[in-house]
Amino acid sequence: MSHETRSPDISPNRIRALIQLLGDEDSEVRKIARDQLLLIGEDAAQLLDEVVRTDCDGKTRIQARAVLRQINRQELIHAFHLLAMWRDEDIDMEQAAYLLAKFAYPKLRKSEITMELDRLAYRVSELIDGTESAGDIVHAINQVLFQEAGFRGNTENYYSVDNSFINVVLTKRTGIPITLSLIYILVAERLQLPIYGVNMPMHFLCMYDEAPEPFYIDAFNRGNMMTRAECISFLKRTGVGFRESYLDRASNREILIRMLRNLILVYYHNEQDSEAAFLKQLLKILKHYAKR
């Protein structure tokens, strides 16, 4: 990976010179420059981005964009390896969602996600101070997310790739069941509430794990609370049938795998095969470490 092969102490001027060689007429010179920049890795990313955004020679700009994309993907693969090595319960889902969003938005800063989730959680904390009833707590979360913040299911453009990227969902306030549920879970996590993901077929849910029996929350439908019986009825209506495992708490790895699979299918649906193929590499990484 790029971290292991990056050349030390490469000066900015040296990097700029290599970038200019990307526009050379000699294909061998271009290849050498490209290979050297890939070895340097993310230390060259900012300078490559400057070239991409300026009115320099068209050939250089095109080549710089391709190298920058490859560097970003190398870094993403490396980061996914580090993430996937953790035990399922220790995988940081906020970090995972951030990395997935960086696939499409490489300049994204994690702080943009964290600050908005913190703000939502703080507002919920104001409403539930002293509240012990699980139902009242869920009503408070629903008030903040769906009434005040305006989150909703994206029924108009369900197959948009942006529905899978947490930064876009936090900005546009619309998404698919799994990303809306993840936001619900990450807000609850900040408040130390026992709300987790449920990998139900056809429709991802949240679960409030309360004795003697948990209940379920449909973040896609404005936090509608569902009993176990209602979930079973839903599954039977959709023709899936019912298994006990369908309503079990999902591990963090299972949630991330489902997010990736959803996104891969959308990219294939949109005939963006190269994007889907890269995401399949990330999926393979997650599955590889699951076997250890």
Could you please report the per-residue DSSP string of 155-202? Answer: -SSTT-GGGG-HHHHHHH-EE-HHHHHHHHHHHHHHTT--EEEE--TT
Q: Do 111 and 11 share a structural domain?
A: no
Q: Write down the mean pLDDT value for the chain.
A: 90
In this predicted structure, the answer to whether residue 56 has a pLDDT above a threshold of 80 is no
Q: Do 19 and 96 share a structural domain?
A: no
Q: Do 76 and 182 share a structural domain?
A: no
Could you please report the per-residue DSSP string of 123-155? Answer: HHHHHHTT---HHHHHHHHHIIIIIIS--EE--
Q: Give percent of the chain above pLDDT 70.
A: 95
Q: Do 248 and 134 share a structural domain?
A: yes
Which of these three, 61, 84, 107, is where a domain ends? 84
Domain that holds residue 64: 2-84
What is the average per-residue pLDDT within 21-48? 83
Binning pLDDT at 50, 70 and 90, where does residue 57 land?
A: low
User: How high is the pLDDT of residue 8?
Assistant: 52
Q: Do 136 and 40 share a structural domain?
A: no
Identify the CA nearest to 261 among candidates 204, 180, 188, 217.
Answer: 204
What is the average per-residue pLDDT within 243-260? 95
Which of these three, 84, 101, 116, is where a domain ends? 84
Q: Do 195 and 257 share a structural domain?
A: yes
DSSP 256: H
Span 158-194, pLDDT tens digits: 999 999 999 999 999 999 999 999 999 999 999 999 9
Give the DSSP H/E element, type plus range, for residue 217: strand 215-218
Exposed e or buried b per residue across 175-206, where buried means at least 16 C-beta atoms within 10 angstroms of its C-beta: bbbbbbbbbbbbbbbbeebebbbbbbeebbbb
Place of tokens 């079990």: 248
R_g over Cα of the chain: 22
What is the distance between the alpha carbons of residues 243 and 8, in angstroms, rounded to a whole number? 55
Which of these three, 40, 55, 84, is where a domain ends? 84
Q: Do 11 and 146 share a structural domain?
A: no
Q: Do 251 and 112 share a structural domain?
A: yes
Identify the CA nearest to 75 among candidates 24, 12, 125, 4.
Answer: 4
Q: Do 264 and 131 share a structural domain?
A: yes
Q: Do 201 and 136 share a structural domain?
A: yes
More confident position, 73 or 38? 73
Edge-to-edge strand order for the sheet containing 205-208? Answer: 195-198, 205-208, 215-218, 224-226
Q: Do 93 and 75 share a structural domain?
A: no
Span 14-23, pLDDT tens digits: 888 888 888 8
Total domain count for the chain? 2
Span 70-113, pLDDT tens digits: 888 999 999 999 999 999 999 999 999 999 999 999 999 999 99
HSE at residue 45, side-chain half, CA atoms within 13 A, is 14
More confident position, 38 or 3? 38
What is the average per-residue pLDDT within 272-280? 95
Interior angle at CA 175, CA 285 and CA 286, nearest 5? 5
* CATH code assigned at 22: 1.25.10.10
At 34, list the tokens.
């490209």
Q: Residue 120 to residues 125, 166, 198: CA-CA distances in angstroms?
A: 9, 14, 22
Identify the CA nearest to 90 among candidates 248, 253, 290, 206.
Answer: 253
Q: Do 201 and 247 share a structural domain?
A: yes
What is the distance between the alpha carbons of residues 122 and 230, in angstroms, rounded to a whole number? 31
